[in-house]
Structure formats: structure tokens, C-alpha cells
Amino acid sequence: MQLENIIYCGDNLIWLKKFPDKLVDLIYLDPPFFSNKQYEVIFHDGQEIRSFEDRWKGNINHYIDWMHERVFEMHRVLKDTGSFYLHCDWHASHYLKVMCDDVFGRSKFRNEIVWCYTGPSRNEKDFPKKHDVIFRYVKSNNFIFNYDLIRKPYSKSFLERRENKEGSGKGIFSSDKPVGKGKYSKGKLYEDWWNDIPAGGQISRKELFGYPTQKPEALLMRIIKASSNKGDLIMDPFCGCGTTVAVAQKLQRKWIGIDVSPTACKLMKNRIEKNGAIGVEIKGLPVSIDNLKALPPFEFQNWCIGALGGAVNPKKVNDMGIDGFTYMLRNPIQVKQSENIGRNVIDNFETAMQRIKNNRGYIVAFSFGKGAYEEVARVKQNGLSIELLTVDKLLEYEEPLKEGKLF
């Protein structure tokens, strides 16, 4: 059964437990950083919001326990020749290092890579926090490290110093070969601090996908080239908008991407297919009425709004019953995980539409009663248009509905 070149939607712990031992050559993960900030949530996605809340119910120990059981499974599915890169920042890096030492063993720790970047800061009480940490571990002493593929040129000043010493026949590096051509032509290995890869708003526009914590492709290029070969299998269990798998596809590696967010998984699929993959499969998306009825409320709400091509309402308090908005026209959407929706729901939604001064909206549910349809006809006389959409209609479409198809 094929496991690679597939996107898996859902809790990565559940998916990881289904994979066999020693499957993957390289794992890179960029998990939420225990920052307690909602910017970690992709597009205000319902599933990711729920998962986010689960992770921070308690203190740092709760977060590390949450991570530990996942890293334990990642260690299991990693080949003996495999490598593991954990991307984090100051919020939890020290705790995560101790946890990874426990899972992999302290002797399997190879690098603490510091990714440095710059940018504006309003902080006037501390030095601006402008670096992330990437912990590199291996599973055994027989690991892949392609040092010749990740070299950088020597500096001009270094080459001039070598030229002065070696060209004159002085010094321990004396050679007849011109500097820059012989032993120095390949360049040098990058140190364990990287300051040549931009972050945040400095990422190339052609790469940006609106994901709030997106990492640049150049970062993953270096990691994947260093610790894997063509044809190897790369895994990212917190895949977000898919930078890892997109780069793996470009570098002719196989890949596995996992993310809890259906929105992220669909974005990832489109991105990878633009990089040359054909017919990428997403496993774990809701596919039936029974699947949707079984979803937790947040996840059901997000699926429905995503099927409409909309965005979840970021306002969770005093939202007036508006769960989301359509993409282009910003028409309100209300989602009910119920059958036989009645007249009162229409009345309340009418009030919400009037308060935000919008004359068109949508209500999604499994079914509607006669009173709901009668009330929709009544509010139409007041200049309001409310479309009642059943979930089975949304299931008919593989791609999000466009606003023009709703009428």
C-alpha cells in the first residue's frame, strides 16, 4: 500500500501510529511554539483552533507532554540512517531539547542551529528576539550528511589572506595551486548559525500563501539537501501550508505531509501540484454525512465554511451568530450542526444581518423545517436574501463553492 506522496488530514499522533517502523529518511517539524498567540492558527481554521486550545489547557509541562508522545512516534518511524530536525524558539526550546534528549538519547544530538534574521521591533525593554532554534538529531551513528551539497563560498578577505600566505610559499597551507581553484573551490560548510535566509515579510512574494508562521523554501532546501538523497522519504507532521513537501517535490524526494487543518491540506495540495505532482490525494477529509455529524462543532463549522470558499469569523465573543464570511463579498454565514432548523434561527440571523448592514447571507444545516423556508420568504420582502444550504449539497462539490454558484 502506498504511503508516500499523500497528505494526511487530522491529528498527527493518530496518523503516526498507523505508519510502520523505520519508514522515513528525514523528519522536519515546525510545531506551534507555545507562544499562546492566535497567530499560530492558520486562517482562523476551526480544526486548528480546537487543536490549539487543546495544547494550551495547562502549563509548559502539558505542552511538552503533548509533544513528547508525538516525537516518540516520529522516532519510531524514522529509519536508523535518518535525521530529525525540530524547529522551535525561545518559548519552549530548552524544554524541548531535554525532551528530545530523552527520546533520541543525548549522544544522538548533533546540532543546535540558530537561524538569525532581522526586522523592525517595537521592543524598548529587551534586545529584540530575532532568531529561531533548530535541533538536529540522528537515530544512529550511520546517518546521511551531504556536506558537499551545502557549502558556501569562502569570503573574499579569507581568500586574499590565503593568497598572501600560500602564494609566497609561507605558512602551513603552502601550495602551488591558485587560491579559489584547488582545495578552496568547493567553499566551506555553513556554521551552526544561519543569517543568510530571510524570514517573515522578507520571504519572496511568489512563495507566500498567507500562512502566519510560514518558513522560506531556502531553509528547507538546505536541510533536505544536507540530510537526504534523491528518492528518500521526507515527513513533516506539522505541515502547515506545505513548504517542506513542496521543496521535497522540487528536490525529487518522496514525502508525507500531515496537518490537522483541512484548509491547510487543501492549500498544500494545490501548492504541490503546481510543483509538478499529479493527482495528490488527501486522506482524512470528511466524505459523508455520517463523518460530518461525528465532527466536533468547531471542525464541522470549519468544513462547511471551507466548502463555501469562505473564512471563519475570527471574532469568538459577541459574534451575533455569524460563524464566517464568504471570500469575495464578505456575506455572513451561519452553521448549524442540526436537523430541521426552524423559524427562530432565521429570525436571529436576520437581526445579525441588519446589525452588520449586509443584505445577503447563508445558513448551513443538515435540514430545514417548513417554518424556516416560510421565514426566508418573509425576510425577502424586507430586502434581505437568506440562502438555506443543506450539507448534502456541499458534499456534491470537491472544490469550494463559488458565490455565483449558490443561487
Q: Same domain, yes or no, for 308 and 328?
A: yes
125 and 274 co-located in one domain: yes
| 278 secondary structure, DSSP code | -
Residue 31: burial class (beta carbons within 10 Å; 0-12, 13-18, 19+):
buried
**How do residues 133-182 score in pLDDT, each as one tens digit?**
999 999 999 999 999 999 998 888 888 787 777 665 444 444 445 544 56
Q: If you average pLDDT over every residue of the chain, what do you get?
A: 84
Angle (CA) 257-258-263 rounded to 5° is 100
The Cα diameter of the chain in Å comes to 97
The predicted pLDDT at position 55 comes to 53
The number of beta carbons lying within 10 Å of the beta carbon of residue 398 is 7
With contact defined as beta carbons under 8 Å apart, do 240 and 259 qualify?
yes
Mean pLDDT of 6-19: 93
Q: Do 128 and 180 fall into the same domain?
A: no
The predicted structure's pLDDT at residue 159: 83
- Nearest CA among 173, 87, 167 for reference residue 133: 87
**Which pLDDT belongs to residue 267?**
84
- The C-alpha cell at 60 is 509548559
Which tens digit of pLDDT belongs to each residue from 33-73? Answer: 655 444 334 444 445 544 555 455 567 888 899 899 999 99
What proportion of the chain, given as a percentage, has pLDDT over 90? 50
CATH number of the domain bearing residue 70 = 3.40.50.150
Question: Is residue 101 located within the same domain as residue 201?
Answer: yes
Where is the domain boundary, 233, 256, 283? Answer: 283
C-alpha 404/C-alpha 196 separation (Å) is: 46
Amino acid at 76: R
CB count within 10 Å of CB 135 equals 21
**Domain range enclosing 343:** 289-406
Contact call for residues 391 and 289 (beta carbons, < 8 A): yes
Q: For residue 380, what is the domain's CATH number?
A: 3.40.1350
Report the C-alpha gap between 369 and 381 in whole angstroms. 20
Residues 264 and 296 both lie in one domain: no
Q: What is the mean pLDDT of residues 178-194?
A: 78
Same structural domain, 87 and 160: no
Span between the terminal Cα atoms of the chain, in Å: 42
pLDDT of residue 214: 82
Residues 84 and 197 in one domain: yes
